[in-house]
């Protein structure tokens, strides 16, 4: 039998991971499972997983500074055909307004600074919140039936 | 990521295989290119055909490699760019920075010019 | 490239799910991912995932009574080649001493009562704890290099 | 789970496909068997060849079906038991409860006796 069809929304799935880049794939794997059976085009799924990877990498690297004592918290849910992913770290947060534009000519050949841009490109919406008690929470959303790409 | 280097008519072809992502392929790519540059290689062609995933760190390293090869008076070009990686380079306006080829022999010949 | 080899222990992975049987597969999927690249025999993996399924089914059914407001909490980790899975519910707990033996002749043909027995058969150890503040926590462990079966 | 029923020489063969697990195949199995019993079928053979997973709920339903068919004076037997499902029945000492066959024609013939 193929995967059980998620006719009802399965409720939010939450997970937390220690701050290792190797763990990014676990969250991607779980997200892939959450999208299974939903007729999400392969293409859309690919870009969602890339955005998720960027968000997790930032949480691990910039948020938690790869401190293994700190964790990355992820919540994923599908409601009314919209995927929402929340990624929260235990770092000291940052001001998204002050992130430089990777398309500006002086930044075009920099070796970093594209992660947030990719998330914004591949998802419908990216929101940044400072989480009470420190840390940053980013909220990525993507409609699963109307593709952007 | 797996890397291997072939020499074809004065061009070092770097075949990459796997993921160029944060904490795995990214640093490895830089080190491989640095070694080629130290060995005096000026013509470098990266074959991306078997790269399965890239993220912003991988893209950053690719750009870093481009800059360091160019700064030494060398040339770094790309071969067989998978469509999704091409998209990722395009949206950050990097696709025009790189010379990209679909045919290995054409790519190799282009360095002679 | 194949999966990144987990040469180091990746730290505990935690997840929580709402109380639907459909969610069992998500946790199984994540556990499969955690075992990936560790040279765990396919057979061993199969029995681990079955034990996990039984533990989750009990937490959803008996612990949380399928109340969608209640969640099931799962923690998985591999340390020194031993897998530890903790499954916690938000129910009122039970006394594992009082569970009847499915092999007793009078129970042999019952339509239920085999879940805990299967967990014990397929894992090296199954521990039951009452969690502070209600709910049951079961701890399943399995050595990944010495197979039982 | 998918179910379909064939009639072969007085035997109802139920081909199961997929998972017999809590909340998905378990109730469906019971309902299918109940319907066969209500229709007066006495010889039922469950073909397990394409069952990919079973859990304690699925096993419980299988036992429940056995009991209800037997109570009506019928016979319920199993065909093509995958090795892992056979293991699961064995450890709970149920394997001896069921008549298990590896060949469909032998299984069908056995009901005549
Ligand atoms: N979770 C985070 N916590 C703290 N700072 C962050 C976080 N995410 C992003 N940043 C900041 O935003 C900058 C831009 O991030 P990004 O666009 O992903 O590029 P990069 O990670 O390559 O620097 C980072 O360099 C960092 O200063
Ligand atoms: N998490 C739990 N919370 C409360 N009661 C439980 C829990 N897990 C098991 N039980 C009790 O233990 C009994 C035996 O469980 P099990 O062996 O899995 O068989 P089954 O689930 O088929 O009844 C259950 O019927 C239930 O009363």
Task: Render pLDDT for C68-77 as a digit per residue (tens, 0 to 9).
Answer: 999 999 999 9
Whether the CB-CB separation of B111 and B11 falls below 8 Å is answered with yes
Select from A90, A99, A77, A63 the least CA-distant residue to A144.
Answer: A77
What pLDDT digit, counting tens, does each position of C98-140 carry?
999 999 999 999 999 999 999 999 999 999 999 887 899 999 9
Predicted confidence (pLDDT) per residue in B81-92, tens digit: 999 999 999 999
Supply the pLDDT for residue C6: 46
Q: How far is the CA of A90 from the centre of ligand 1 (A)?
A: 14
Cα–Cα distances (Å) from B59 to A4, B37, D86, in that order, read: 37, 19, 51
Q: What is the pLDDT of residue A9?
A: 61
Q: Which chain B residue shows the shortest CA-CA distance from A102?
A: B92
pLDDT band at C37 (very low <50, low <70, confident <90, very high): confident
Q: Find the C72 Cα to ligand 2 centroid distance in Å.
A: 15
In 3D, which of A55, B16, C52, D47 has the Cα closest to residue B6?
A: B16
Q: Do C34 and A11 touch (CB under 8 A)?
A: no
For residues B56 and B54, give the distance between their C-alpha atoms in angstroms, rounded to a whole number: 7
Q: Give the pLDDT confidence score for residue C137 in this predicted structure.
A: 97
Structure confidence at residue C40 (pLDDT): 93
| pLDDT > 80? residue A92 | yes
A1 interfacial to chain C (CB closer than 8 Å) = no
pTM of the model: 0.85
Which residues make beta-bridge pairs with A74?
A15, A87
- Average pLDDT of every residue of chain B: 96
D17 touching A, CB under 8 A?
yes
Look at chain D and count its residues. 113
| Run of H or E residues at C141 | strand C136-143
Q: How far is the CA of C116 from the centre of ligand 2 (A)?
A: 7
Element (H, E) at B77: strand B75-79
Q: Please report the pLDDT score of residue D78 as a whole number.
A: 98
Q: What is the mean pLDDT of residues A66-76?
A: 96
C5 touches chain A (CB under 8 A): no
Which one of the ligands is nearest to A107 CA?
1
Q: What is the pLDDT of residues C42-58, one digit of tens each?
A: 999 999 999 999 999 99
Q: Give yes or no for residue B113 having a pLDDT over 80.
A: no
Pick the more confident residue, A65 or A147.
Answer: A65
pLDDT of residue A8: 52
Whether A22 contacts chain C with CB within 8 A:
yes
Q: Is there contact between B and D if contact means ≥3 C-beta pairs under 8 Å?
A: no
- Classify the complex by whether its ipTM is higher than 0.90, answering yes or no: no
Please give, rounded to a whole number of angstroms, the shortest distance from the CA of D31 to a CA of chain A. 18
- Please indicate whether residue A10 or residue A143 has the higher confidence score (pLDDT): A143
User: Token digits for A56?
Assistant: 């997790």
> Closest approach of chain B CAs to the CA of C77, in angstroms?
21
Instruction: Kindly report the average pLDDT of chain C as a whole number.
Output: 91
**Residue B59 in contact with partner chain A when CB distance is under 8 A:** yes
3-state secondary structure of A107: coil
Does position A148 have pLDDT exceeding 60, yes or no? no
The string of pLDDT tens digits covering residues A31-56 is: 999 999 888 999 999 999 999 999 99
Distance CA A88, CA A16 (A): 9
Task: Say which ligand is closest to the CA of C136.
Answer: 2
Report the nearest atom of ligand 2 relative to the CA of C87.
1
Å from CA of D56 to ligand 2 middle = 11
Contact C15 A15 (CB under 8 A): yes
Given a contact cutoff of 8 angstroms between Cβ atoms, the answer to whether C90 and C74 are in contact is no
Query: Residue C2 above 70 pLDDT?
Result: no
DSSP D11-74: EEEEEEEEEE-TTTHHHHHHHHHHHHHHTT--EEEEEEEEEEEE-HHHHHHHHHHHHHHHHTT-
The verdict on a CB contact (< 8 Å) between B1 and C4 is no
Q: Residue C1: is its pLDDT beyond 60? A: no
> Across residues C7-23, what is the average pLDDT?
85
Which ligand sits closest to the CA of A55?
Answer: 1
**CA atoms within 13 Å, Cβ hemisphere of C70:** 21
For B21-62, how does the pLDDT look when each residue is reduced to its tens digit (9 = 90+)?
A: 999 888 899 999 999 999 999 999 999 999 999 999 999 999
Which are the contacts of D84, defined by CB distance < 8 A and separation ≥ 6?
Answer: C46
Mutational pocket test of ligand 1: of A116, A122, A135, the residue with most ligand atoms within 8 Å of the beta carbon? A116
Task: Supply the pLDDT for residue A146.
Answer: 63
Whole-number Cα distances in Å, A36 to A7, A102, C5, C21, C43:
12, 33, 25, 16, 25
Inspect the interface and report whether the beta carbons of C13 and A6 lie closer than 8 Å.
no
pLDDT of the residue at C42: 93
The C-alpha atoms of residue A2 and residue A6 are separated, in whole angstroms, by 12
In order along its 113 residues, chain D shows pLDDT tens digits of 999 999 999 999 999 999 999 998 888 999 999 999 999 999 999 999 999 999 999 999 999 999 999 999 999 999 999 999 999 999 999 999 999 999 999 999 999 96
Give the dihedral of Cα atoms C35, C38, C40, C46; nearest 10 deg: 20
Using an 8 Å Cβ cutoff, are C134 and C93 in contact?
yes
The number of the ligand 1 atom at minimal distance from the alpha carbon of A87 is: 1
Asked if residue B69 has pLDDT above 80, the reply is yes
As a whole number, mean pLDDT of residues A131-146 equals: 90
Chains that touch D (3 or more CB pairs under 8 A): A, C
Residue whose Cα lies nearest atom 10 of ligand 1: it is: A62
């Amino acid at each position: 039998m193929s995967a059980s069809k998620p006719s009802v929304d399965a409720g939010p799935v939450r997970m937390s991971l220690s701050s290792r880049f190797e763990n990014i794939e676990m969250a991607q794997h779980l997200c892939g499972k959450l999208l299974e059976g939903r007729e999400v085009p392969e293409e859309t799924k690919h870009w969602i997983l890339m955005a998720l990877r960027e968000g997790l990498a930032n949480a691990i690297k910039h948020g938690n500074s790869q401190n293994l004592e700190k964790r990355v918290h992820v919540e994923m849910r599908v409601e009314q055909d919209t995927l929402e992913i929340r990624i929260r770290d235990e770092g000291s947060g940052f001001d998204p307004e002050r992130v430089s534009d990777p398309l500006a000519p002086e930044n075009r050949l920099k070796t970093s600074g594209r992660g947030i841009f990719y998330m914004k490109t591949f998802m419908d919406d990216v929101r940044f919140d400072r989480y009470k008690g420190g840390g940053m929470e980013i909220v990525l959303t993507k409609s699963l039936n109307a593709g952007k790409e | 990521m797996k890397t291997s280097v072939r020499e074809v008519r004065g061009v070092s072809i770097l075949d990459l295989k796997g993921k160029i992502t944060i904490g795995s392929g990214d640093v490895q790519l830089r080190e491989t290119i640095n070694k080629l540059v130290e060995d005096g290689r000026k013509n470098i062609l990266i074959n991306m055909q078997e790269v399965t995933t890239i993220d912003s760190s991988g893209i950053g390293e690719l750009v870093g490699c481009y800059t360091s090869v160019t700064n030494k008076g060398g040339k770094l070009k790309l071969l067989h760019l998978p469509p999704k990686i091409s998209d990722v380079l395009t949206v950050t306006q990097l696709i025009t920075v790189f010379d990209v080829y679909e045919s290995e022999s054409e790519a190799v010949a282009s360095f002679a010019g």
